[in-house]
Amino acid sequence: MYKLYRLICASLLLCFSLPSFAEQSQDFANLKVHYIALPSTFLEADIAKHYGIKRSKYTGIINISVQDKQVKFKALAADLSGTGKNLIGQTQILKFKEIVEGDTIYYIATYPFSNEEIVNFNIKINTQNKTNILKFQHKFYVD
């Protein structure tokens, strides 16, 4: 649990210290979805290893959490699937891994990128017998 706590803290610190990596959210009728994309090198090596995340300057992380808007933003389990597509049309299927710690649920996927690559993400979120589509764009940089 301590390692996940450090992962969450690291993500939150990035939200406040680096505007280009700021966490974002999108509201749907029944959900609030928080998402962030960042290079995997922002994770400490032991945290990345613990969660099976490849740390590389060419690997990005997509982190998504789903909350129920009608139950005081309670974390929800969901079935996530999606793709990342760069501007020249190369598509990568995202494979999300569920991480549950206490009352918190996160979904993590990795995405290979090149420097200054702009990626359009299209993620299907199935929960509460409803399907919502999260779409966002992110520009990755090699550090």
| pLDDT (tens digit per residue) in 1-31 | 555 545 554 554 444 334 444 569 999 998 9
The per-residue pLDDT of the chain, averaged, comes to 87
Q: How confident is the model at residue 137 (pLDDT cuts 50, 70, 90)?
A: very high
Q: Break the chain into its structural domains and give their ranges.
A: 2-140
* pLDDT score at 127: 93
* pLDDT score at 15: 42
Evaluate whether 82 touches 138 at the Cβ level (below 8 Å). no
Q: How confident is the model at residue 73 (pLDDT cuts 50, 70, 90)?
A: confident
CA distance 119 to 49: 25
Candidates 56, 36, 47; CA nearest to 134 is: 36
Evaluate whether 58 touches 118 at the Cβ level (below 8 Å). no
* pLDDT score at 143: 76
* pLDDT score at 59: 96
Q: Which CATH superfamily is domain 2-140 in?
A: Domain of unknown function DUF4426 (2.60.40.3340)
Q: Residue 122: count other Cβ atoms within 10 Å of its Cβ.
A: 15
For 5, phi then psi, to 5°, come to -55, -45
* pLDDT score at 14: 43
Percent of the chain at pLDDT exceeding 70: 84
Looking at residue 48, the DSSP 8-state letter turns out to be H
Strand partners, 36: 63
Stated pTM of the model: 0.82
Average pLDDT over residues 44-57: 92
Average pLDDT over residues 20-49: 88
